[in-house]
Amino acid sequence: MEINIFEYAAKNAIRFNFRGNITVEDLYNLRLEELDAIYKDLNRTRKAQTEESLLATRTASSTLLDVKIELVKHVVADKQHERAMAEEAFERKEKKQKLMALMAEKDDAALRALSKEDLQKALAELEK
């Protein structure tokens, strides 16, 4: 049976050891480097607790540790996705601004190409 890590975290009031105890919600306020430090610490703990055995049974502490690791991985993936989306939106905005500037230049060039009489006619139309 696969567990929902966020449901498990809520039911078990999971806390992470980082500058005291922090909650799952607090993970979203950390920088990626800080999340990576938490992940490395949890991984070290997992490796220290892992002992080869023919009778490998899951304990509550190993489940808790696995859930903590999955939570951190999820938050990191989410933050990386948000960062990629923000970068993409910024690039689209920049490209749009460049296109608008080029369109304005084309409009100016088209106006410059008009004869003096055509410019006067256009000006007269605007003054109506």
Sorted by where each begins, the domain ranges of the chain are 5-94
User: Mean pLDDT, the chain, as a whole number?
Assistant: 91
DSSP 127: T
Indicate the pLDDT class of residue 26, thresholds 50, 70 and 90: very high
Instruction: Look at phi and psi of residue 88 and say left if phi exceeds 0, alpha if psi is from -120 to 50, else beta.
Output: alpha
Q: Distance (Å, rounded) from C-alpha 71 to C-alpha 15?
A: 11
Indicate the pLDDT class of residue 53, thresholds 50, 70 and 90: low
**What is the predicted pLDDT for the residue at 18?**
93
Query: E strand or H helix at 16, and its extent?
Result: strand 16-17
pTM of the model: 0.71
pLDDT one-digit tens code per residue, 59-100: 777 889 999 999 999 999 999 999 999 999 999 999 999 999
